[in-house]
Structure 1
Amino acid sequence: MAQKALILGIGNVLWADEGFGVRCVEHVAATLAYGPEVTVLDGGTQGLYLLPFLEEADVMVVFDAVDYGLEPGTMKIVEGEEVPAFMGAKKMSLHQTGFQDVIATAQLMGYCPGELVLIGCQPVELEDYGGSLRPEVTARIPEAVAIARGWLAARGFVAAEGSTETPDLADASLRMDAYEAGRPTEDEACRSGDARFFPQSGRG
């Protein structure tokens, strides 16, 4: 039986650098042409709903924002049995707890991919609801995708330049270009809070 690969991005695009993994798989789909043996998936924060995808895969690449305690924007690559430990060492959000459980459950049931790699980026900012990826993290996306491409090629999954059609990405309106192009100003979005509750200078 032919081998299958899963390229998975997890995270939440609504929380600034939490969206790193999702934006990476979007970049894969937009720039690399893989055959039907490779699934490119925006896993978002779906947790155990991702189990069927792991069951089908022999090898897996995971992109995520991970707090390694390093300089913001730093990338770190972790493989094999170390992946769940790194994802659980310092959780940034519930999605990491959920994905750690996904891997543990897949291992328990005997269908976790035989090889996996986590391509993680140290976030700059997470506490910014509706915010963008920070420039230091955005700049790492092509590098992260290139690492994944090389890792998969070494295992027989070779990509050409082009694009991969996949139904497993977020709605087009949430993808990076459209999401950023439609961004309101901070005043319009009221992201800094309600001015009616700010202290007013000059009041006695």
Structure 2
Amino acid sequence: MEKRILVLGIGNLLWADEGFGVRCVEALNAGWCFPDNVTVMDGGTQGLYLLPYVQEADCLLVFDAVDYGDALGDLREVVGDQVPRFMGAKKMSLHQTGFQEVLMAAELTDKLPAELVLIGVQPEELEDYGGSLRDVVKAQMVPALNLALDWLERWGVVGSIREGGAEAITDRALAMDVYEAGRPSAEQAYRLGDARFLNTEAA
């Protein structure tokens, strides 16, 4: 029986390196075709809404930006029961809290995937609202994808190079090239959120 495989990118594209996981699944989907037992998904910040997909999988591979305390841009591969621990080590945002709860809920219902892999990068910048991946993090996308393809092969799946365009798994307006090209300057758009709420002295 074929293994049901879920490849999941989690994170928030709007906060610079937080978007690493989603950018990885975008690139994987754009570059390779996989058989029907493989699902490549943008998990974004959906938290517990991802539980049914995780429960249905035999093998789960997650891309994410995780604060390991490593050097900026370092790539780390975490396997098995270490995955939930690493996802909760230093929570950078609510999406990590939510995904750790997804794994806990799957385990409590005896539907945790038999094999877990986390491919994570140490972020450089998370406080740049509307920003894209920093160069040191973007440079790790190809190595991360190569690690993922190796794991898929271990699980019995060999992807084929995609010929022609793929249906995007995120909105075209958020595709990396469009997103980066359309960003206004720092003078036009505040980088750290809404200045009306953050600058209390001005209020």
* CA–CA separation in structure 2 for the residues paired with 1:102 and 1:145: 24
| Structure 2 gaps, min length 5 | none
* CA–CA separation in structure 2 for the residues paired with 1:19 and 1:133: 7
Moved more, 29-38 or 60-69: 29-38
Matches within 5 A, 1:170-181: 170-181=170-181
* CA–CA separation in structure 2 for the residues paired with 1:15 and 1:4: 31
Determine if contact 2:45/2:95 at 8 Å carries over to the other structure.
yes
* CA–CA separation in structure 2 for the residues paired with 1:88 and 1:112: 17
Amino acid at match of 1:102: V
Distance 1:152 1:174, change over 3 A: same
User: Aligned residue for 2:124?
Assistant: 124
User: Aligned residue for 2:67?
Assistant: 67
1:82-127 alpha-carbon deviations (Å, 9 max, x no partner): 0000010111111101000000000110111110100000000111
Across the two proteins, how many residue pairs are aligned to each other? 194
Displacement of 1:2: 2.5
User: Aligned residue for 1:29?
Assistant: 29
SS in 2 for 1:90: coil
Displacement of 1:188: 2.1
SS in 1 for 2:41: strand
Matches within 5 A, 1:46-57: 46-57=46-57
* CA–CA separation in structure 2 for the residues paired with 1:46 and 1:65: 16
Q: Check if 1:89 corresponds to 2:104.
A: no
1:137-167 alpha-carbon deviations (Å, 9 max, x no partner): 0010111011000011011011111169567
Distance 1:166 1:103, change over 3 A: farther
User: Aligned residue for 2:14?
Assistant: 14
Tell me which structure has the larger Cα radius of gyration: 1
Moved more, 154-163 or 66-75: 154-163
CA RMSD after TM alignment: 1.7
* CA–CA separation in structure 2 for the residues paired with 1:155 and 1:36: 14
| Structure 1 gaps, min length 5 | 198-204
* CA–CA separation in structure 1 for the residues paired with 2:172 and 2:53: 22
Identity %: 56
Amino acid at match of 1:133: L
Determine if contact 1:40/1:166 at 8 Å carries over to the other structure.
no
* CA–CA separation in structure 1 for the residues paired with 2:149 and 2:136: 21
Q: Check if 1:109 corresponds to 2:109.
A: yes
* CA–CA separation in structure 2 for the residues paired with 1:96 and 1:152: 24
SS in 2 for 1:179: helix
User: Aligned residue for 2:98?
Assistant: 98
* CA–CA separation in structure 2 for the residues paired with 1:144 and 1:186: 30
* CA–CA separation in structure 2 for the residues paired with 1:59 and 1:6: 6
User: Aligned residue for 2:38?
Assistant: 38
SS in 2 for 1:64: strand
Amino acid at match of 2:36: P
